[in-house]
Chains A and B, each alone.
Chain A
Amino acid sequence: MTARVTPLLQATGLEKTFRSRGRIVHAVADVSLSVSPGEALGIVGESGCGKTTTARMLLRLEEPSAGRIVFDGTDITHLHGSALRSTRARAQLVFQNPFDALNPRFSIRRSLTEPLRNFGVPASEHRDRIDAVLRRVRLTPPEAWLDRKPHELSGGQLQRVVLARALIPGPRLIVADEPVSMLDVSVRAGILNVLREARDSLGLAAIYISHDLALIRYVCERTMVMYLGRVVEEGPTAELIATPAHPYTRALVAAVPVARVDQDRAALPIRGNLSDTPTAGAGCPFRDRCPHAMARCATETPLLRGIAPGRRVACHLEGAL
């Protein structure tokens, strides 16, 4: 459905390696993705799966060790200095922890003026843009919020200011890393709804990073599942949850708690613990925990292959679970 639209962001073969005790360790290995205007992509996985490192590379907060990132028609893979800064206004990060994302001594007005000034927006436009963005995140009337300081705001209100600050330069892409995990459940819905509306009405491309598949389902049409630095499955979110093709996705879906009386309490289809052994060498990174592992899984790394329209899986069983 989005294949015919020119992607806003396209990443190919991204890698991030570092040295540990003389060995090369892949934090991220061979990740390719694209996201188009108006589309939201979810990246889901557990701590250490490389999802946050991937997001930081996409925003060029980190430089990839290999691969290529094209954003809005420009290759930004190795940009530096002013050339990189000029992309910053168009690609914004929403911080996870609203409690330390804002300068505690700045008023809301100042926190929102700063990015406008940094990106060279004429002062005559500041007030209108600030009013508009505060309305968008539902902090109304704007004049009631402008002179407040962070300590006068609740967590949910702070996160709305953090969102406003990301939206105010007029980005075309937003990347949100666990945007509600620090917030109370009663206010999470409000933030997710603001994010959905902003994407729809502004035609933003969005990438959400989370360990919470239920949250990803609420905001993303398409999802990538990462395990130990690699993409193991991707596809339309609803299909991926209804019929997971990778054994890891299947365990992940089964593990999400649901607030219902009748639910599946069968043991998870997964073995052992997340090992801290890095993904060096050949073989499937999930094989030690996989209930379906075969001899081939230890010797040959499965590649991402298409199994249905829009769906790809990196598993020798190719979805025949």
Chain B
Amino acid sequence: MSLLSIRGLTVTYATGAGPLRAVDALDLEVPAGSITGLVGESGCGKSTLGRALMGVLPDRGRIAAGQIVFEGRDILAESERARRALRWRRMAFIPQTAMNALDPVQRLSAQMAEVLIERGGLGRAEAAAQAAALFRLVGLDPARLSAYPHQFSGGMRQRASIALALALSPSLVIADEPVTALDVIVQRQILDVLRELQARLNLAMILVTHDMAVVAYACDRVAVMYAGQVVEAGPVAEVLERPLHPYTMGLTHAFPDVHDSAMALVPIEGSPPSLLNPPAGCRFAARCPFADPRCVAEPPPVRPFGQDHLVACWHAEQAPALRVRAADPQTWAAIA
């Protein structure tokens, strides 16, 4: 059974031109004890989804429809207070910029103590011991608890914000682009910390990222988002090696591989549709080299396909042939 089931979730933002459906009737299952990558480009709704789960949407945003079932509880049906308690104890958040999680004018020891004592109900001595244990867990020297965040490097700050997120032993951690702002070596070290903690503490994690390579390195499962919806989901190995959706196929040819010089990069021409007034049919149709009239007219439902693999494409049956065509730059050039 899933730790988290999202059903028909719609999140809207109020704009001058009407409600923008940043996440639109989205379904997603997150199993316990594994890392699920949520991958997509800016504006696809991946960060909005993470924030909606945590109840930290900006003022203009609201959950307009849908269900979030977490640890068997329909959390949107519960009181605001119950939800808030659940969110920090059982579900925790790691933002892209660690400075957003950390208070710049407080020592880290004070920030850890605040969470552990006020939210976790620990005594002062217990909290200090636990803070030291958490620092060790994320690879920081407990002696540095007396530091202020600005005295840390970017990677150390991100470790501290992970320690803070884990303070109350959540079962689910949502990390929003946790390594995007970091240099490549630090990036890798933070991903290793996340993977190790996931395994050691048997956490479930949602890792929001725009980078398919980060998904390939760190995740067990992946959900590919496009224009507010999940277009493909499944185990990472399955989705990377046998992508079923043309958008996923395009993404796998869109950025260079450090070990391959012969590779021809293929851009996905065009831009995502407006979410104020999304197209009637498949949202990717305007950029898809394989779209036909049906794709433009009718939205494809999400359907199971093969081993534990979901896809929203009318042409999934032809995926093996489409994968061959998708590797050819000419196929995509015709769209422009």
Chain A: residues with CB nearer than 8 A to chain B? 46-47, 138, 154-156, 184-190, 192-193, 211-215, 217-218, 237-238, 241-242, 251-261, 263, 265, 267-268, 270, 273-274, 276
Contact between A267 and B192, CB atoms less than 8 A apart = yes
Q: How far is the CA of A158 from the CA of B257 in the complex (A)?
A: 25
Does B269 interact with chain A (Cβ within 8 Å)? yes
Name A274's closest neighbour in chain B (CB-CB): B153
**Known: A218-B265, A268-B188, A274-B183. Is A185-B210 also a contact (CB below 8 A)?**
yes
Q: How far is the CA of A263 from the CA of B212 in the complex (A)?
A: 14
Contact between A257 and B217, CB atoms less than 8 A apart = yes
Contact between B214 and A188, CB atoms less than 8 A apart = no
Contact between B267 and A187, CB atoms less than 8 A apart = yes
Does B236 interact with chain A (Cβ within 8 Å)? yes
Query: Across the interface, which residues of A come within 8 angstroms of B20, CB to CB?
Result: none
Instruction: Name the 7 nearest CB pairs between A and B, nearest first.
Output: A190-B267, A257-B213, A189-B265, A186-B268, A46-B183, A189-B267, A214-B258
* Nearest chain A CB to B193 CB, angstrom units: 12
**Known: A261-B236, A263-B216. Is A188-B254 also a contact (CB below 8 A)?**
yes
Contact between A258 and B265, CB atoms less than 8 A apart = no
Contact between A185 and B212, CB atoms less than 8 A apart = yes
Query: Across the interface, which residues of B come within 8 angstroms of A193, CB to CB?
Result: 265, 267
How many A-B residue pairs have C-beta atoms within 8 angstroms? Tell me. 128
Q: How far is the CA of A258 from the CA of B185 in the complex (A)?
A: 14
* Nearest chain A CB to B270 CB, angstrom units: 9
Kindly supply a per-residue 1/0 record for chain B positions 264-275, scoring 1 wherever the CB is within 8 Å of any chain A CB and 0 otherwise. 011111010000
Q: How far is the CA of A185 from the CA of B267 in the complex (A)?
A: 8
Contact between B213 and A259, CB atoms less than 8 A apart = yes
Contact between A214 and B255, CB atoms less than 8 A apart = yes
Best-surrounded residue of B41, B188, B236, B269 (most CB of chain A within 10 A): B188
Residue in B210, B211, B257, B271 whose CB lies within 8 Å of A154:
B271
Contact between B258 and A217, CB atoms less than 8 A apart = yes
Does B241 interact with chain A (Cβ within 8 Å)? yes
* Nearest chain A CB to B92 CB, angstrom units: 24
Contact between A255 and B185, CB atoms less than 8 A apart = yes
Does B321 interact with chain A (Cβ within 8 Å)? no
A-B contact pairs, 16 of them (CB 8 A): A138-B336, A186-B250, A186-B267, A212-B184, A237-B261, A242-B259, A254-B188, A257-B214, A258-B213, A258-B216, A258-B257, A260-B216, A260-B240, A268-B188, A274-B155, A274-B185
Chain B: residues with CB nearer than 8 A to chain A? 41-42, 153, 155-156, 183-189, 191-192, 210-217, 236-237, 240-241, 250-259, 261, 263, 265-269, 271, 336
Query: Across the interface, which residues of A come within 8 angstroms of B216, CB to CB?
Result: 257-261, 263
Residue in B186, B188, B251, B266 whose CB lies within 8 Å of A257:
B188
**Known: A186-B251, A273-B155. Is A259-B257 also a contact (CB below 8 A)?**
yes
Q: How far is the CA of A270 from the CA of B156 in the complex (A)?
A: 16
**Known: A214-B256, A259-B216, A268-B189. Is A273-B153 also a contact (CB below 8 A)?**
yes
Name A184's closest neighbour in chain B (CB-CB): B41
* Nearest chain A CB to B266 CB, angstrom units: 6
Contact between A186 and B41, CB atoms less than 8 A apart = yes
Known: A186-B267, A190-B269. 5 other contacts (CB 8 A): A184-B210, A215-B256, A217-B256, A255-B188, A273-B186
Best-surrounded residue of A184, A193, A265 (most CB of chain B within 10 A): A184
* Nearest chain B CB to A227 CB, angstrom units: 11
Query: Across the interface, which residues of A come within 8 angstroms of B186, CB to CB?
Result: 46, 273-274
Q: How far is the CA of A187 from the CA of B255 in the complex (A)?
A: 9
Q: How far is the CA of A241 from the CA of B257 in the complex (A)?
A: 11
Contact between B258 and A258, CB atoms less than 8 A apart = yes
Residue in A214, A255, A261, A267 whose CB lies within 8 Å of B257:
A214
Best-surrounded residue of A47, A192, A214, A251 (most CB of chain B within 10 A): A214
Name A253's closest neighbour in chain B (CB-CB): B258
Contact between A255 and B237, CB atoms less than 8 A apart = no
Query: Across the interface, which residues of A come within 8 angstroms of B254, CB to CB?
Result: 185-186, 188-189
Query: Across the interface, which residues of B come within 8 angstroms of A267, CB to CB?
Result: 192
Name B44's closest neighbour in chain A (CB-CB): A184
* Nearest chain A CB to B322 CB, angstrom units: 17
* Nearest chain A CB to B284 CB, angstrom units: 11
Residue in B184, B255, B261 whose CB lies within 8 Å of A46:
B184
Query: Across the interface, which residues of A come within 8 angstroms of B256, CB to CB?
Result: 192, 214-215, 217-218
Name A265's closest neighbour in chain B (CB-CB): B217
Q: How far is the CA of A211 from the CA of B191 in the complex (A)?
A: 17
Q: How far is the CA of A226 from the CA of B259 in the complex (A)?
A: 20
* Nearest chain A CB to B194 CB, angstrom units: 13
**Known: A186-B251, A241-B258, A253-B258. Is A192-B265 also a contact (CB below 8 A)?**
yes
Contact between A217 and B261, CB atoms less than 8 A apart = yes
**Known: A257-B211, A261-B237. Is A185-B183 also a contact (CB below 8 A)?**
no
Best-surrounded residue of B153, B237, B250 (most CB of chain A within 10 A): B153
Q: How far is the CA of A47 from the CA of B216 in the complex (A)?
A: 25
Q: How far is the CA of A193 from the CA of B41 in the complex (A)?
A: 20
Query: Across the interface, which residues of B come within 8 angstroms of A190, CB to CB?
Result: 267, 269
Contact between B217 and A263, CB atoms less than 8 A apart = yes
